[in-house]
Structure 1
Amino acid sequence: MQNPKTDTADRLYNLIANEEDARVCTDIPDEACREVPRNFFLILGSNVLTKLGDLLISPKTVLAWLLSAIGAPALVAWLVPIRESGSMVPQMVIGAWVRRKPVRKWFWTLGSFGQSASVLAMAASVWFLEGYAAGWGVLGALVLFSLARGFCSISMKDVQGKCIPKKRRGRLAGLASTIGGSATVVLTVVLFWDRGEPGVLFYTLLLLLAAGLWIVAGLLFASVDEYEGETGGGGNALREAVKSLSLLRDDALFRHFVITRALLLCSALASPYFVVLAQKNTDNGWLLGVFLLASSLASSVSASVWGWMADTSSRKVMIRGGAMASGVCLIVGITAVVAGTDLGSVWFYPGAFFVLSIAHAGVRLGRKTYLVDMAGGNKRTDYTAVSNTVIGCLLLLTGGLTALVSMVSNVAVILVLGLMGLAGMLSALRLQEVTAD
């Protein structure tokens, strides 16, 4: 007799995936194919919960406000570099360790628990310390958070590649972003409806809530039925990590992908400068909430569309996302040069930010799906580790360069990033198709 929960999962999965093609599981074994519906929803639930957690500790919004509120505003500049690069740079070493294990879901589970513990450390720093002591406590916990996230990033693509068939990975990522984005819209309205300045108790409870979300996500992911896969790299992890850099020299397709991904960083780097220009034109306290809503709405309305498109061609998703990101940056930059940064409309920059967020969702989902589809077996882990490590280093370098350009003007940064995105789109046009069978 079939388990009612399994039967429900099968029916829901058939509705979402439109499972009519019996050959959809051609790239995963039969035993893994039987568990796809249940694994689909376990991975989906884990992703949605972590996306909500990311909103609650967003370095661009919540943590920036928090450091200012506790009297450590000078530390705000370190939040985004630590959050993004801290999880990417060590990934070649992490990847060399992870690929030795035939079952890798436990790395994601432990990484999720590690992120929860780090957020609890942030809450303790805020509650028990003051001023810069609390600020340094938050930054130290963020370093640990980013390292734990590196384990999740490395293992997620591999587990997903083994448990979800190629033609369903894009819609899994898209559905997770849509549900997570919709939930964040509601959460943003609930949390930031009051325009007054939140107190320390509010931030502490916010961090505790986020920590709880990562614990539940880790428990869900631990329930995924993952079959044993290829192993390798039995030697020293650091030596194996350095050895894996040869992929950039020997694998032309992978090298081209990394270059394209680096150029498309414009979709992530330009967002704060839209906010900065908007803040110069108005001091309305609700404007930050508008940007939060714009980001959440962009994810909820576009991610599933991007996901379905990525199942047909993840390359074309990167092209379209790059074109949108480049276009909106160039339009905003040129408009600001011609008409001045004070455009007389408070909605211009949030509207542009909304379009940029849609573009970034496409770029992010397209390059993730492309990487998973590009490689199989142990190569998937190596590709993820090398790509993320290189991009993490380039992110720090690009961040430093944009900081220097911003000394000239914020508009100059947006124009430079727009041209960078244009180059990324042209590079994606020359990428090889990997999604089609």
Structure 2
Amino acid sequence: MSKTAIEKLYRFLNNEDGERVCTDISDEACEHTVTNFFRILLTHTVTKLGDTLSNPKTVLTWLMSYVNAPVYLISLIVPIRESGAMIPQIAISKYISQKPIRKWIWIFGSVLQFISIAAIGLVGLSYKGVLAGWLMVGCLVVFSFARSLSSVTSKDVIGKTIAKTRRGKLGGYTAALSGVLVLVAGLLITYKSETDASVDFYTNLMFFASIMWLVAALIYASVKEFPGETESPSEDENVVVSKLELLKTNTQFRNFVIARALLLCSSLSAPFYVLLAQKHAGSESFLLGLLIVANGIASIISSPFWGKQADKSSKNTMARAITIAATMGIALFVIVTFFESFRNQLWLYPIAFFILGVAHGGVRAGRKTYVVDMANGNERTNYVAVSNTIIGVILLITGGLSALVSVLSIEGVILGLSLLGLLGAYRSYKLPDVE
């Protein structure tokens, strides 16, 4: 595609008719913002496809169930994956904040994620039962650490290369494009499930997913990032404690972290939707394909909308999206608990998963845009690192509690998380606008 065509496409996607918007980025970055926009879009698109095809909420839950891993380990994989990607971020942010160019840290993390997901595929081919479950969890811990490297640096790179009022749209278009790929993958899984439902089928999904992070690393290497603000090496051994002081001194940031913690229901609920589907509608891989298709359609339909809404008011986007997720969770609890004739219907769970996917897309778009727009430079790095670390600890605790409760009542976990989500909607709405 020619440079002129890329420029026209950028202006069309961002509704930009006049002079280019370069708010909150340098003049150098402004010159490359169009190409960087599409390079980052492609990078995040392929990693999202990799995420979907190895997702603990769907495919990995299914694979672990297939190799007879215990339910308590399956219940832990989402909080371990998410918390492991978040808890180390305060510690590694000290190192990252000393680097004027940060994309290479993202690339290293991406390569390590490739290795980790490929290893899960090998475990699935070689082991079963408790051993397989623990080995997969171990691979997931390594994957999560690698993800933490990419998570901190990606916000920095976007903040340095993409202008305000364009960041939400970037996230929205990324989710929509990856949703198309996810939809195709889901349809393929649904089709193949009729003839091939062996362990090879699921492990091949893992191997293909792992390759996506290698492709992403190659694309990301071409992003034009210019040196940014750095911190000098510090002798302070209590760097973690000093960064956590932000929660005490910055009221707006503290309220954002509280709100974000309450938004976790959209993420933590998903594997329990899958377990309910397996329990009441069967464990055929055909159903897994339908869930992935539902998630892909949700991204395609909702992500551009959520991205535009996040650029207008990211805190309202969070509030509206989590309200949808919480309402769906409460409705599913009522149906499964009181309407036995409906809870065994195959169509119920893809529809519920679709609505949850729409809502989770809004939660992600809102919270990511809010934290990027709330600060600049190393202040942004500190905000991302501290908030992610706190959320990681909370995820680990709530995930452990959910794993225990799920032994008694899967639908009860969904109800509890949904009620917390309603409180999260209120706390999000009370945040100040940052756009």
Taking structure 2 as the reference length, what is the TM-score of the superposition? Answer: 0.92
Counterpart in the other structure of 1:95: 93
Deviation, structure 1 residue 134: 4.6
Aligned residues, how many?
432
Counterpart in the other structure of 1:145: 143
Q: Kindly provide the amino acid, as one letter, of the partner of residue 433 in structure 1.
A: D
**Would you say 1:248 and 2:247 are equivalent positions?**
yes
Counterpart in the other structure of 2:189: 191
Deviation, structure 1 residue 272: 2.6
Q: Kindly provide the amino acid, as one letter, of the partner of residue 223 in structure 2.
A: V
Alignment of 1:56-75 (within 5 A): 56-73=53-70, 75=73
Counterpart in the other structure of 1:116: 114
1:47 to 37, 44, 49: 44
Contact 1:267 1:322 in 2 (8 A): yes
Q: Which runs of 5+ in 1 are unaligned?
A: none
Relative to structure 1, the CA distance from residue 237 to residue 37 in structure 2 (aligned partners, 3 Å threshold; closer, same or farther) is farther
Contact 1:94 1:237 in 2 (8 A): no
Alignment of 1:79-94 (within 5 A): 79-94=77-92
**Would you say 1:14 and 2:6 are equivalent positions?**
no
Taking the aligned partners of 2:290 and 2:265, their CA distance within structure 1 comes to: 22
Find the residue that maps to 2:295 and give its secondary structure. helix
> Could you report, residue by residue, the CA deviation over 1:11-65 in whole angstroms, capped at 9, with x for unpaired residues?
2212211222536212111111110000001100100010111122112232233
Counterpart in the other structure of 1:261: 260
Counterpart in the other structure of 2:380: 380
Find the residue that maps to 2:209 and give its secondary structure. helix
Contact 1:97 1:237 in 2 (8 A): no
Taking the aligned partners of 1:65 and 1:272, their CA distance within structure 2 comes to: 10
Taking the aligned partners of 1:416 and 1:220, their CA distance within structure 2 comes to: 41
Deviation, structure 1 residue 139: 2.6
Relative to structure 1, the CA distance from residue 136 to residue 41 in structure 2 (aligned partners, 3 Å threshold; closer, same or farther) is same
> Could you report, residue by residue, the CA deviation over 1:55-111 in whole angstroms, capped at 9, with x for unpaired residues?
221122322333344454464334222211111111111111111111111111111
Taking the aligned partners of 2:132 and 2:410, their CA distance within structure 1 comes to: 30
User: Which sits farther off after the overlay, 211-220 or 377-386?
Assistant: 211-220
Find the residue that maps to 2:85 and give its secondary structure. coil
Taking the aligned partners of 1:44 and 1:402, their CA distance within structure 2 comes to: 34
Taking the aligned partners of 2:46 and 2:307, their CA distance within structure 1 comes to: 19
Taking structure 1 as the reference length, what is the TM-score of the superposition? Answer: 0.92
Taking the aligned partners of 2:345 and 2:76, their CA distance within structure 1 comes to: 31
Name the Cα RMSD after superposition: 2.3
2:165 to 160, 164, 167: 167
Contact 2:70 2:129 in 1 (8 A): no
Taking the aligned partners of 2:107 and 2:28, their CA distance within structure 1 comes to: 22
Relative to structure 1, the CA distance from residue 338 to residue 125 in structure 2 (aligned partners, 3 Å threshold; closer, same or farther) is closer
Q: Which runs of 5+ in 2 are unaligned?
A: none
User: Which sits farther off after the overlay, 392-401 or 149-158?
Assistant: 392-401
Find the residue that maps to 1:100 and give its secondary structure. coil
Counterpart in the other structure of 1:27: 24
Counterpart in the other structure of 1:355: 355
Taking the aligned partners of 1:210 and 1:301, their CA distance within structure 2 comes to: 23
Deviation, structure 1 residue 334: 3.6
Taking the aligned partners of 1:199 and 1:168, their CA distance within structure 2 comes to: 44
Contact 2:39 2:220 in 1 (8 A): yes
Find the residue that maps to 1:267 and give its secondary structure. helix
Deviation, structure 1 residue 199: 3.1
> Could you report, residue by residue, the CA deviation over 1:249-281 in whole angstroms, capped at 9, with x for unpaired residues?
001000000000001111112223333333333
Taking the aligned partners of 2:332 and 2:118, their CA distance within structure 1 comes to: 39
Deviation, structure 1 residue 217: 0.4
Counterpart in the other structure of 2:332: 332
User: Which sits farther off after the overlay, 279-288 or 240-249?
Assistant: 279-288
User: Which sits farther off after the overlay, 55-64 or 301-310?
Assistant: 55-64
User: Which sits farther off after the overlay, 44-53 or 409-418?
Assistant: 409-418
**Percent pairwise identity:** 45
User: Which sits farther off after the overlay, 362-371 or 405-414?
Assistant: 405-414
User: Which sits farther off after the overlay, 294-303 or 115-124?
Assistant: 115-124
Taking the aligned partners of 2:236 and 2:142, their CA distance within structure 1 comes to: 20
Taking the aligned partners of 2:354 and 2:128, their CA distance within structure 1 comes to: 36
Relative to structure 1, the CA distance from residue 239 to residue 357 in structure 2 (aligned partners, 3 Å threshold; closer, same or farther) is same
Relative to structure 1, the CA distance from residue 313 to residue 346 in structure 2 (aligned partners, 3 Å threshold; closer, same or farther) is same
Find the residue that maps to 2:56 and give its secondary structure. coil
Taking the aligned partners of 1:51 and 1:137, their CA distance within structure 2 comes to: 24
Find the residue that maps to 2:74 and give its secondary structure. helix
Taking the aligned partners of 2:344 and 2:135, their CA distance within structure 1 comes to: 41
Alignment of 1:215-254 (within 5 A): 215-232=214-231, 234-235=233-234, 239-254=238-253
**Would you say 1:294 and 2:291 are equivalent positions?**
no
User: Which sits farther off after the overlay, 205-214 or 43-52?
Assistant: 205-214
